[in-house]
Structure formats: C-alpha cells, structure tokens
Amino acid sequence: MNIQLVGKNGGTVLLIKDKRIDIQNAVELREELLKLIRDGQNKILLDLQKVRFIDSSGLGALVYSLREARRAKGTIRISGLTEHVASMFSITRLNKIFDII
Amino acid sequence: MTSKFPRKLELLSKIEKVEEAAYFAEKAAKDMNFSDSDVDDIAIALTEAVSNAMIHGNKNDVTKKVIIEIMEKPDRMIMNVLDEGVGFDPHNIDDPLLPENLLRESGRGVFILKSLMDRIDYSFEKNRTMIILEKMKRKK
C-alpha cells in the first residue's frame, strides 16, 4: 500500500497513491489506519484522488477503520473521489456514513 | 488485436490473481466497445465474483481453480465465473443497505455485483458453482 502523509492540519491527511483499493491491499490499508488511530491520530482525512477502483473489500476496510476512529472519538473524512469510486460509495450508501468533502 | 470470443481464463485460488481477472474482463469489455464507465462496472463486478469464488467457493484452497468465460452476444456481454465449491443460497444474503448493516465490514460483494450488472444468475452442481453475469451494450 502506497500511502503518503501530506499534512497534519487539524488532523492527519493521507494521500492514497495506489490506483486500486481491493482485496489485495484492503487489509494492509485497514491495518495502517488502525495503527494511526491507536497512536492517537484519530482525525484522518483520506485523499482518494489517485484511486480509480475500489471493491467491497476496500469499502469494508474503510468502514471498519471509520468505526474504530469513532470509537476513539475521532473520524475519517474522505476527499478526491473519482467518478467511479464515488458511484461505489453511492450505491452502497456509504456516502451517507462518511463525511465526503 | 484479437476481438475473438469466447475467451477463457483459468486461475488458481490465490488472491493476487484477482487483479489478473479484473484486467481480463476490462480488456474484453473494451474490445466489445463498452463505455469507460461500463468497463469499470464490469471489472469491479468480475473482481467481486472471482473474490467470492476463491474465498467462499474454493475456501482459499490454492489447488482449486476459478474459471472465467467471457462471451459476446449482439446485445450483451456474458461472463461465467466457475468455482469448485458447493454453492450458497443467493436469497440468504443480508441487505447491506439496512441501517444496522451499513457499518459492517463485509457483506457488500453480491449486492455490488447485482448493482453493476444488468442480470445475474447462478447454477449449482455437485462441487461446481457458476455465477453468470450479464451486461447489456448501450449506445455511447
């Protein structure tokens, strides 16, 4: 998983540099996010502008991480959704769960 | 460039092979002149079907195969995904859109398949499960 820390303004800003979040790297993404949350960085902004493909495993990893962030009184916000990735959030109604900016 | 169909791909049940399946479907969909958005739908749907076949069908047994067949009809694409599992009850799948299920980590795969494809069907035989995915061709 290629994740770049791009800022810490009001939270941790992460740029996902992989084109795909799928069954191959979803667990790795989840573990990276959980590590940050456990370390107290529980306000996370995920920039998905480079991602053009997400499957149910990728969505599941994000949902699980969101739950853990909320449990730690934090949150995960998402930005930069490409058209098709946005449609995946929309058909699964995860656009109602995540704060998408 | 070959645009001949049917095409067939056989994979062992290794998760790292799922991407190969996605590209196989993507290439086939492009060769059938689907729109970019439909190509993405088809690639994701096949990813979901192959992941399900490897994990739930073949139980991650790397000696068991997943077979993908892609056919072209005048009005649609048909993809068959076969595994060596004992099948499942397609009616016994929780609705991932229910409020109590929205925050679950898993359980969206079949729903995504149904949402992205125009028709899906199943065929169950002894130690062979087949899911049939159809996408209609539309004018761009």
> Are A1 and A28 within 8 A, CB to CB?
yes
**CB-closest option in B37, B44, B51 to A53:** B44
Sheet architecture: strand order including B65-73: B7-12, B65-73, B76-83, B128-136, B119-125
CATH number of the domain encompassing residue B50: 3.30.565.10
List, for residues B42-97, the tens digit of each pLDDT value.
Answer: 999 999 999 999 999 999 999 999 999 999 999 999 999 999 998 888 888 899 99
> Are B90 and B122 within 8 A, CB to CB?
yes
Q: Does residue B1 sit within a domain?
A: no
Is residue B1 over pLDDT 70? no
- B43 CA: distance to closest CA in chain A (Å): 9
How far, in Å, are B2, B28, B135 from residue A40 at the CA level?
Answer: 54, 46, 46
Task: Check residue A85 and report its DSSP letter.
Answer: H
Query: pLDDT category, B140, cuts 50, 70, 90?
Result: low
Number of H helices, E strands in chain A: 3, 7
User: Which residue of B lies nearest to A55 if distances are taken between CA atoms?
Assistant: B44
pLDDT for res B87:
83
Tokens of residue B114, six digits: 């149904």
Tell me what percent of the residues of chain B surpass a pLDDT of 90. Answer: 87
Q: Does residue A86 sit within a domain?
A: no
> For the residues B106-125, what does the mean pLDDT come to?
95
Q: Does residue A16 sit within a domain?
A: yes
Number of domains in chain B: 1
Residue (of B64, B42, B76, B47) closest to B129 by Cα position: B64
* Rama region for B60: left / alpha / beta (φ>0; ψ in -120 to 50; rest): left
Number of domains in chain A: 1
pLDDT for res A1:
85
The predicted model scores a pTM of 0.93
What is the distance, to the nearest Å, from the Cα of residue B140 to the centroid of all Cα atoms in its chain? 23
Tell me what percent of the residues of chain B surpass a pLDDT of 70. Answer: 96
Query: Which chain B positions have a beta carbon within 8 Å of A55's beta carbon?
Result: 44, 47-48, 51, 109, 112
Q: Does residue B2 sit within a domain?
A: no
Q: Does residue B95 sit within a domain?
A: yes
> For the residues B122-135, what does the mean pLDDT come to?
94
**CB-closest option in A24, A96, A97 to B18:** A24
> Are B79 and B69 within 8 A, CB to CB?
yes
The ranges of chain A with pLDDT < 50 are none
**Radius of gyration in angstroms for the set of CA atoms belonging to chain A, rounded to a whole number:** 12
Domain that holds residue A21: 1-42+60-79+92-101
Residue (of B38, B6, B71) closest to A83 by Cα position: B38
B121: Cβ contacts below 8 Å, ≥ 6 apart: B131, B132, B134
Is residue B139 over pLDDT 60? yes
Tell me what percent of the residues of chain A surpass a pLDDT of 70. Answer: 100
- Number of neighbouring beta carbons within 10 Å of residue B99: 9
- Return the higher-pLDDT residue of B140 and B137: B137
Q: Does residue B34 sit within a domain?
A: yes
Average pLDDT in chain B: 93
Q: Does residue A49 sit within a domain?
A: no
**CB-closest option in A63, A88, A91 to B103:** A63
User: Which residue of A lies nearest to B46 if distances are taken between CA atoms?
Assistant: A55
User: Which residue of B lies nearest to A58 if distances are taken between CA atoms?
Assistant: B105
pLDDT for res B2:
54
